[in-house]
Chain A
């Protein structure tokens, strides 16, 4: 296999703004805070940053801030800037930065994802978000769901979860293990939103949202920004906190790009995304020391666990039941900073940040001898992944 181009890139810096349920600060304010911390963490100054990449590239509560806003706020001088929502999920912004660095278009790219969905208000008619819905929507694919009151991704994910339970015998107690694991790990994360202990009985007792998903199966909207710096690997020896290598990117969109017309109602696009990642590496799922897998809804994490290959198709319920396999001392420590269910809906970038902390050995709940981390983010037809290593790959 010729060396995958992405290995020319490393993550040199990573940081977050303050994060809270409602901070009542603007998206660009939070973005600047995260960006300056990440640039400092990378041992760089704003003068070194010659690229900016973000998802989705618009403002509002879901969009947070535009790349141009950061460009202007820090008076950056850029060789390359990119944003967009038609990526392999939110990590598409990282993929784009990696490719820009690998091709030499830019040398140090600041990547950010900002949300102000806590103080910006919950999903309400006409606002979009939540996977692209909203009642005004567009004449696109959501026109076939909105007239039926299915305005949230919760409704669509619930349909997959139901079919997974029907076909494979997955139970709510098994699904609940994702939420309980996240809550236990969040207790060690000072930026987490919810840290009160939660038992499986608490989970089973809480109110339903869209059956079989209950309140604790849905992540919590929050305000916050995460930024990373993607640099060329020849900068790696100078990274003060330790460079994180990019071993492989997962970007494939091989099925129909649709929530309702995808060919299999028990998996989603991450099945193709993860497959494409493994096609680009000599590493295997057995090499992964911890997994940071998207939990915008708990069932999406089950889908990611199967897609990555930590267990077979349909076996994720049994794999996570009781939480032993996915706990800090388990076979695959999962969402070690609490995930989105308890630490807030940072849209995949909380998972990315935690992966960097694990590989540097600075995570709040550290995994011993962590050398390889799998990160997967997104659901439905919008999914992307990264395989990251301690030091350049």
Chain B
């Protein structure tokens, strides 16, 4: 269990997998088995070719910070300011944009264009995807 902020996850039948995916350390995004496009948020049908052959598929979990805000207000009790909320665009398809918190660095290190990778915070039955700067090897 985590001692992090309250993660009010309310999954839909389509998104249930998204919030559980991190149990094996992998982020998954819905993908069309016919046209190959990534679909997010997950839906009942491929919006591009209307195929129903859609299923969660692992992604690398790496991406780029498209934009972010530093919150100075405790919008939800338990989220102690300051904290970063960001949109991350995934490497597989930058039109897949993930809302998340950036962790694992100083607040003032976060910037647009920053390269980040997923990690998961366990919260009850969920594995909530967070992102941190990619740890560059020497």
Binding site for B on A (CB under 8 A): 123, 125, 135-141, 143-152, 154-155, 158-160, 162-163, 166, 207-213, 260-261, 263, 265
Scoring B residues 1 to 45 as 1 if CB is less than 8 Å from chain A, else 0, what string do you get? 000011111111001000000000000000000000000110000
Chain B residues within 8 Å of A166, by CB: 67, 112
Interface string of B64-101 (1 = CB under 8 A from A): 00111111110111010001011100000001011111
Give chain A nearest CB distance to B1 CB in angstroms: 16
- A139 in contact with B101 (CB, 8 Å): no
Query: Given known contacts A144-B99, A209-B73, A265-B67, is B15 in contact with A149 (CB within 8 Å)?
Result: no
* Minimal Cβ-Cβ distance residue in A for B96: A261
B9 to chain A, nearest CB (A): 5
Complex contact A143–B72 (CB within 8 A) = no
Say yes or no: A144 contacts B66, CB within 8 Å.
Answer: no
Establish whether residues A135 and B76, one from each chain, have CB atoms under 8 Å apart when the complex forms: yes
For A140, what are the chain B residues with a Cβ–Cβ distance below 8 Å?
Answer: 12
Show 18 A/B contacts (Cβ-Cβ < 8 Å), sorted by A: A125-B77, A139-B10, A143-B11, A143-B15, A144-B41, A146-B76, A147-B9, A148-B100, A149-B85, A150-B99, A152-B73, A155-B69, A159-B68, A159-B86, A209-B72, A210-B85, A211-B71, A260-B87
Which residues of B pack against A, CB within 8 Å? Answer: 5-12, 15, 40-41, 66-73, 75-77, 79, 83, 85-87, 95, 97-101, 112, 123, 126, 128
Q: Kindly list chain B residues whose C-beta atoms are within 8 Å of the C-beta of A151.
A: 75-76
From the candidates A137, A150, A159, name the one contacting B75 in the complex (CB within 8 A): A150
Q: Using Cβ atoms and an 8 Å threshold, which residues of chain A touch B85?
A: 145, 148-150, 155, 159, 210
Tell me which residues across on chain B come within 8 A of A141, comparing CB atoms: 41
Interface contact A160-B75, CB-CB below 8 Å: no
Task: List, in ascending order, chain A residues with CB within 8 A of B72's CB.
Answer: 207-211
Residues of B with C-beta under 8 A to A208:
70, 72
The CA-CA distance from A137 to B128 in the complex, in Å, is 17
Report yes or no: A139 in contact with B15, Cβ–Cβ below 8 A: yes
Measured CB to CB, the closest approach of chain A to B37, in angstroms, equals: 14
The answer, among A143, A152, A209, A260, for a CB contact under 8 Å with B9, is A143
Please determine whether A162 and B69 come into contact, CB atoms closer than 8 angstroms: yes
B73–A210 touching, CB < 8 Å: yes
B29, chain A: closest CB distance, angstroms: 12
CB pair B69–A210 under 8 Å, yes or no, is yes
User: Residue on B with the closest CB to A145?
Assistant: B99
| Alpha-carbon distance A213/B101, docked complex (angstroms) | 18
Contacts of B101 in A (CB 8 A): 148-149
Nearest CB in chain B to that of A140: its residue: B12
A149 contacts across to B, CB distance below 8 A? 5, 71, 75-76, 79, 83, 85, 101
Contact B95 A148 (CB under 8 A): no
Complex Cα distance, B9 from A148, in Å, reads 9
Complex: A143 Cα to B18 Cα, angstroms: 11
| In the complex, chain B residues whose CB is within 8 Å of the CB of A212 | 69
Q: For the A-B complex with A159-B85, A211-B70 known, give 14 more contacts whose Cβ atoms are closer than 8 Å.
A: A136-B10, A137-B8, A139-B15, A147-B128, A148-B100, A149-B71, A150-B85, A159-B86, A163-B66, A209-B72, A211-B71, A260-B97, A261-B41, A265-B87
Question: In whole angstroms, how far apart are the Cα atoms of A208 and B41 in the complex?
Answer: 31
Docked CA distance A212–B12 (Å): 32
Q: Is the CB of A152 within 8 A of B66?
A: no
* Cβ contact within 8 Å between B11 and A148: no
What 3 A-B pairs come out closest when comparing CB atoms? A149-B79, A139-B12, A158-B69
Residues of chain B within 8 A of A125, CB atoms compared: 76-77
Q: Are A147 and B67 closer than 8 Å at their CB atoms? A: no
Cα distance, A208 to B74, chains bound together (Å): 12
Contact between B8 and A146, CB atoms less than 8 A apart: yes
Q: How far is the CA of A143 from the CA of B40 in the complex (A)?
A: 12
Residue of A nearest to B6 (CB): A135
The minimal Cβ–Cβ distance linking A114 to chain B, given in whole angstroms, is 25
Question: Cβ of A160: which chain B residues have Cβ within 8 Å of it?
Answer: 67
- The minimal Cβ–Cβ distance linking A61 to chain B, given in whole angstroms, is 17
Residues of A within 8 A of B79 (CB): 149
Q: Nearest CB to that of A159 among chain B residues?
A: B67
Question: How far, in whole Å, are A20 and B97 apart by their CA atoms in the complex?
Answer: 40
With a CB–CB cut-off of 8 A, which chain A residues contact B9? 143, 147
State whether A146 touches B10 (Cβ < 8 A): yes
Indicate which residue in A135, A155, A209 contacts B8 across the interface (CB closer than 8 Å). Answer: A135
Contact A162 B68 (CB under 8 A): yes
Q: CB distance B15 to A265 under 8 Å?
A: no
CB distance from B72 to the nearest CB of A (A): 4
